[in-house]
Amino acid sequence: MAAPTEADIIKSLQTIRDPVSGKNIVEAGLIEGLALRGGHVSFAVEVAPERGPASEPLRKACEDAVSRLPGVLSVTAVLTAHRERNARSPRPAARPHAHDHAHSHGPAEPSGAKGVAGVGSIIAVASGKGGVGKSTVAVNLALGLAALGLKTGLLDADIYGPSVPRLLDIKDKPRSDGKKLSPIEKFGLKAMSIGFLVDEDKPMIWRGPMVQSAITQMLGDVEWAPLDVLVVDMPPGTGDAQLTLAQRVPLKGAIIVSTPQDLALIDARKGLAMFRKTEVPVLGIVENMSLFICPNCGHETHIFGHGGARETAARLGVDFLGEIPLVQAIRETSDAGTPIVAQAPNGPEARAFLALAQKVAEKLSARAERSAPKIVIE
Ligand code: ADP
């Protein structure tokens, strides 16, 4: 059977009425990011935030209408809520209004985005490109922060390739009370990932605005509180989607993961430039896959060279947060869904992550002290 065309899908969606404007949903501008691959269809139904969860029947109606078309194999309709409609492209972050601070903990966020109630600090783990171990560092850093006694959450914002379900071996779906989703708790962490919500065999073709809305939803519509720190595993790269994300998420700081190779470092520099542009403080650079320790003889080799990240950090005026060795056990424990800090917290690899967590925790508390409101007596 022939796959449906975009026009067929639009036509079927035009039969659905937007209850707010009274227009059909295509005319009302609610359909975003329509993507077709063979008979697999995905799109977002974009509504104003206040209509959020109440629009679920509308999303379902869209999905049903498209499913009925001949040749359609699967339909993924995602409900997204934009803070401001028509915010299609990255732009300078809007400063929050004074009353917005009622919801935020601590001082005004550097990115200009609103804080999340009950969540102390939100930090991003980013990389200039994929495959450098960003997710591995994010999950082990989060476990390290939890081991230090901090209430910690992990938000997998790597919507293009969510890895937290695999890294923490989570197969359950988060429960919803109709208003908020409960994060899934594992190894003392509260975790949320788009991968928990979408079937892996369904195509996920995301467009920039959909990515940002989904992340905004995963921040605001998830029962995170109370948390001391929320670690966000960012999508790799420094494109528009990442830039907008850095502006939208109320980040206290960012950590950039790089391998020692020059190429990765060039990308790390781009990552740094991106956060500087958005006024998000870079807490430092971590060098991953730094040193290879032979599992048989214990011999140490700097396969990819050494010290590149430390030098780059010094040259760029940011802190060097440490080195994580290239060790088979790190990959194997990740693949098995029990990351090294959970599996062998006293081993040398876990200690490297715990040292990183310690540095990050110190930096966050130093920042909090520096920016605490000062009482001036005149
Ligand atoms: P990214 O999030 O940057 O795409 P991942 O965290 O998914 O990267 O890591 C890519 C691959 O490298 C994974 O198979 C992971 O297990 C492995 N890996 C990451 N860091 C290390 C390390 N320090 N030692 C061994 N393998 C690692």
Is residue 278 in a domain?
Answer: yes
pLDDT, position 93:
31
> How close is the Cα of 334 to the center of ligand 1, in Å?
8
Claim to verify: residue 262 and residue 343 sit in the same structural domain: yes
Claim to verify: residue 295 and residue 233 sit in the same structural domain: yes
> How close is the Cα of 136 to the center of ligand 1, in Å?
5
Claim to verify: residue 178 and residue 39 sit in the same structural domain: no
Is residue 64 in a domain?
Answer: yes
Claim to verify: residue 174 and residue 222 sit in the same structural domain: yes
Tokens of 370: 């520096």
> How close is the Cα of 133 to the center of ligand 1, in Å?
4
Domain of 193?
119-371
Radius of gyration, CA atoms only, the chain: 22
Claim to verify: residue 205 and residue 327 sit in the same structural domain: yes
pLDDT, position 52:
66
Atom 5 of ligand 1: nearest residue by CA position: 133
Claim to verify: residue 223 and residue 366 sit in the same structural domain: yes
The region that residue 305 occupies, defined by phi over 0 for left and psi between -120 and 50 for alpha, beta otherwise, is left
Q: Which residues line ligand 1 (CB under 6 A)?
A: 127, 130-136, 163, 236, 288-289, 324, 326-327, 330-331, 334
Is residue 88 in a domain?
Answer: no
- Using DSSP's 3-state secondary structure scheme, residue 287 falls into strand
Claim to verify: residue 69 and residue 145 sit in the same structural domain: no
3-state helix, strand, coil in the chain (%, to 5): 35, 20, 40
> How close is the Cα of 327 to the center of ligand 1, in Å?
10
Claim to verify: residue 66 and residue 135 sit in the same structural domain: no
> How close is the Cα of 125 to the center of ligand 1, in Å?
13
Claim to verify: residue 71 and residue 126 sit in the same structural domain: no
Claim to verify: residue 22 and residue 140 sit in the same structural domain: no
Is residue 192 in a domain?
Answer: yes
pLDDT, position 262:
62
**Count: domains in the chain:** 2
- CA angle at 244 for the pair 250 and 158, rounded to the nearest 5°: 85
Which residues of the chain have a pLDDT value below 70? 1, 33, 49, 52-53, 81-114, 198-212, 240-241, 262-264, 303-307, 367-378
Instruction: Specify the CATH number for the domain of residue 345.
Output: 3.40.50.300
pLDDT, position 85:
36
Residue 109 DSSP label: P
pLDDT, position 244:
72
Atom 6 of ligand 1: nearest residue by CA position: 133
pLDDT digits (tens, 9 = 90+) for 84-143: 433 333 333 332 333 333 333 333 334 445 678 899 999 999 988 888 899 999 999 999
Claim to verify: residue 201 and residue 307 sit in the same structural domain: yes
pLDDT, position 205:
52
pLDDT, position 306:
67
pLDDT, position 104:
32
